[in-house]
Structure 1
């Protein structure tokens, strides 16, 4: 595809070429309704004209405080058309963080999803001097102490198009994206049109995207992975974006839409893997035997194909049978048309990636950060090396610096952090290299392997440097452990905080006649302690001595976005977890050898 210079120009080019094709699909009364590129372009023009009449011009900050929906992209593209700077805000953030973002970025006009979020803004609006206008997408129950506008009214603000040309340059700021942050206030990442357009077009080339591609949008659009690789890529190509109704309806929505491409963070793929494993294990004996046999044969076949080795005739015939009987049924989970799943946002465990690969899913792992717009590296269908995140995109340079830190240079690297020149200087050196804070190495073929994050490294009292994430991923392979966090800073050994998978643990208790009054009391049972201890020991067998969890505590409360223990991108907020469970962790060191302290 030809590269246009700005986000809006790239969209407009596709809209003119594909005016009758479906751009967006959204749920209306339980059924998906289409919006064509022509209709979307008309809506963007109308919103832009309305924003212009409300005083929005080049450089003004326009916030979007909402989950994914068609209006999100209409507002985004309209603001970008005017040369505005879009500031997305996660709809799950608490009021103090929302207030900080609006104040720090000096948002002038804010789009809000619904009455609930409008109420939150109402409570902090008197402390936001820059905020002049609030516009509500879903106004069905919207009431407010302060003045607000309805989205449809903004579209009607001006029945004429924008006559005065607005010059938007590729180096103009397009968006300020606040990192979800595992500690403290988030930082505003300044990205230009050139940052995003070059990254989007490079990503499209890697996945061979085309105008017939369909994606399901469910990761928050505040996440640059979703915004760039899911939505902008489709809008630049003339492809289709279907919005999931919500996180609980994804499976149903995927089955209905039958996408060709999906984006996922590892946490989502881990949940799918867990659910599939659970269904197989709970099925009839014959089903378990069939699936186990199929996976063994499909795995052998996949290994030979993966290494470009000859497949024996007998194995090829068995592969056809098992793929038809088992593999194809698993692929129906993705709608049957899925040609690739792009995994990013965090490293995906190689074992889980291989299971999907064996079942016929092309899992392409990539690597990037908000500060790099976001993609740095990505595997391709032609060169997909499991356990790596592939090679750098065209025009992007990657090298390994001191302490194995990954350094990035290229047109995708941010301008800097908003209002933080000192912090910007810390991460972008005088030669233009962005210091990611991630650690990695290259394999012999030039594929990047992520080995850890410098800030997350645990340094034990013996001086061992341990990356916790790979250990946590191995522990959560267990069907009985949903979440895990490893601790051991300046200690002799590692311990683990574990959130059990409640449904699986309760089923185990029922199957084994373990009495309990409620879930927290069940976790105090010695039988459950023994169950989890066995799972940990299975993991420890494959780890070096200093990487093994020597004690653990079972936590009944899940780590969630709502309780502040996960970021909006589903990463552990380690310092918050350590703060909340400090006494529990300390107790694990007071009684060495004791596996569980409740």
Structure 2
């Protein structure tokens, strides 16, 4: 077990506010390393101590103080994860301002809606290109009085065109006075986080200082984080999962956070940073798993058998340690299997990982079984932006991978109508910004938040998410099918990049399928044609090949969950082409609309 030291965890009542948490951490650990990020200019990693962060925050506050902003005014940040993101937010919170985080890859129309809806007065962006994207929607940004650009080289030209625009280097003074903490009300609004929503306009979730602080403290009781820990942060800080679990929890516990350069360079950064804790969404684990399977498929059969044996023995040991199974003689093989198989995988993840969190979506039990079997304890949890976000999580000593664990301290749960998971606690949002109707629709008069997810709760209080009220497919025969589970099963094969099951109101299920590069090549080889996605998408034999593979992947699902037809989609679904949310979830309604002709063909004559 990891150390049970909670002595360095800052209690909610001591912190009072999020900027108060920062101030108390500075007081307790001034010379400890707070953050580490990569300097593109020097091409080196740089450390910032808590004391250095406080001096930087004072400079940012001095700059913000010149902008004629009042307590409660909204300011926005649109940047990748970096120390400057933290400096900006802490400076703003300390002045009683409300922070609105935006996704760096969001569409201009969507980001502009959020800025205008929240009445944002100041926007910090990382690059000039991000601001230029807004050129087509300038008429929607009437409330903005200042745009600060971190890397702006042609400032004079832009000053002439728009005197609101300024380079960070010109905007920041050389130094500030003492860091300020003007707001003393824990229940004051701290941030408005716009849900990336798979349908309709995003809604602004209003979270108070107290909402987030209590959630971070409850999370820190479940997942033990110590001052010796080092986290590698790569999920966007604009997402509440990363913001609470990968930013406020480490601050509360005195751990160090390193900011990855990008998802593309994540493998390199893991080997450089050697993190002890990883906070991630399932897609990252799925990609690592698919890579392992692809490499094994190319190697000798003995390597595959050795790998499978290591997972089997390792997972059996895990079940024994969790007191759900007895000791087996095969466990004696573990030191050898660890050396030959497991250690090699762990070394690729930096060699020091002691625990990994997974949230934001369901993680396939098969994938968690592989990682846990090979020695990486993945702790799956569940939450939503409206609950700050963590509702429940597995513990190291009570880890049931098929569940999302027990509620964290301070959070209550129960099942409502249709088995919907209801949540209540100090972490539940203040409401939706300027949208009382939507607030009333999701929070009852006695404070229960309707998650919209269907769940079961066992005798130990462990929660299992079994579906989503809105995402359940109801066929014309009345069968109810949770598509996400089937999609996860199919995506275990590295030949698949993306899959969406369809069939609402239809007599049978079909699938829209995007293959990986390997997948296109494999199908082309079987059909003895060129590996051209555009041509293969029209090839009936290729569709039959893919359908056969899918059928094998979902053979354990009920008979009514059979997929009868597939449409091959030659282009990837991305955030840029609006088929994915910024957290890489399928925008189901958008995909249905975009591929209505293909879908019509799938059901022609039925």
For residue 5 of structure 2, what is the aligned residue in structure 1? none
Residue 189 of structure 1: SS of its match in structure 2?
strand
Residues 43 and 155, structure 1, Cα contact 8 Å, conserved in 2:
no
Q: Which residue of the other structure, out of 143, 150, 167, is the alignment partner of 1:150?
A: 167
- Residues 174 and 192, structure 1, Cα contact 8 Å, conserved in 2: yes
Q: What is the deviation of 1:141?
A: 5.7
1:223 aligned residue: 239
User: Offset of 1:236 from its aligned partner?
Assistant: 2.2
Q: Which residue of 1 aligns with 2:405?
A: 390
Q: For 2:117 and 2:506, how far apart are their aligned partners in 1?
A: 39
Structure 2 CA distance for aligned equivalents of residues 419 and 522 of structure 1: 48
**Deviations 1:122-147 (Å, cap 9, x if unpaired)?**
44334322111111112246663312
Match of 1:23 in 2: 34
User: Structure 1 regions of 5+ residues with no counterpart?
Assistant: 593-598
Residue 462 (1) aligns with residue 462 (2) = no
Other structure's SS at 1:35 match: strand
Distance 1:503 1:339 in 2: 32
Q: Which stretch of the first structure deviates more once superposed, 189-198 or 334-343? A: 334-343
Contact 2:527–2:541 (CA under 8 A) maintained in structure 1 = no
Q: Which ranges of structure 2 fall in alignment gaps of 5 or more residues?
A: 1-8
1:327 aligns with 2:342: yes
Q: Deviations over 1:253-287 (max 9, x none)?
A: 01110111111111121111111111121124443
**Root-mean-square deviation over aligned CA pairs:** 1.9
Which residue of structure 1 lines up, in the alignment, with residue 353 of structure 2? Answer: 338
| Mapped partners of 2:572, 2:527: distance in 1 | 25
1:595 counterpart residue number: none
Aligned equivalents of 1:59 and 1:457: distance in 2? 40
The structural deviation recorded for 1:247 is: 1.4
Q: Deviations over 1:197-227 (max 9, x none)?
A: 0101111121111111111111111100001
Aligned partners of 1:111, 1:363: CA distance in 2, in Å?
Answer: 35
Check if 1:364 corresponds to 2:379.
Answer: yes
CA contact (8 A) 2:77 2:85 kept: yes
User: Aligned-pair distance for 1:355?
Assistant: 1.0
Offset of residue 38 of structure 1: 0.9
> Which residue of structure 1 aligns with residue 434 of structure 2?
419
Equivalent in 61, 68, 80 of residue 55 of structure 1:
68
Q: How far 1:159 sits from its partner (Å)?
A: 4.0
CA distance in 2, matches of 1:108, 1:16: 32
Contact 2:523 2:546 in 1 (8 A): no
TM-score normalised according to structure 1 size? 0.95
Distance 1:456 1:304, change over 3 A: same
The TM-score with structure 2 as length reference comes to 0.93
- Between the aligned partners of 1:72 and 1:125, the Cα distance in structure 2 is 24
1:573 alignment counterpart: 587
Structure 1 match to 2:510: 495
Q: Which residues of 2 match residues 185-584 of structure 1 at below 5 A?
A: 185-312=201-328, 314-507=329-522, 509-510=524-525, 514-516=528-530, 518-525=532-539, 528-584=542-598
8 Å Cα contact 2:316/2:325 also seen in 1: no
- Is contact 1:49-1:157 (8 Å) kept? no
Deviations 1:3-50 (A, max 9, x none): 211001111111122111111111124321111111111101110121
Do the aligned partners of 2:231 and 2:275 also contact (CA within 8 Å) in 1? Answer: yes
**Secondary structure at 2:197's aligned position in 1?**
coil
Deviates more, 1:190-199 or 1:456-465: 456-465
Deviations 1:277-325 (A, max 9, x none): 111211244433432333333344334444444423x422211110111
Q: Distance in 2 between matches of 1:390 and 1:286?
A: 36
1:181 maps to what in 2? 197
Q: 1: CA distance between counterparts of 2:74 and 2:456?
A: 39
Matches within 5 A, 1:102-141: 102-140=115-153
Residue 66 of structure 1 deviates from its aligned partner by: 1.4
Corresponding residue pairs, total: 589
Q: 1:345 to 1:517 in 2, by over 3 A?
A: closer
Deviation at 1:347, TM superposition (A): 1.2
C-alpha distance in structure 2 between counterparts of 1:586 and 1:459, whole Å = 18
Instruction: Return the alpha-carbon distance in structure 1 between the equivalents of residues 423 and 179 of structure 2.
Output: 40
Question: Which position in structure 2 is the counterpart of 1:596?
Answer: none
User: Matches of 2:135 and 2:380 in 1, distance apart?
Assistant: 41
Alpha-carbon shift at residue 507 of structure 1 (Å): 4.8
**Counterpart Cα distance in 1 of 2:183 and 2:511:** 55
Moved more, 135-144 or 90-99: 135-144
CA distance in 2, matches of 1:113, 1:21: 27
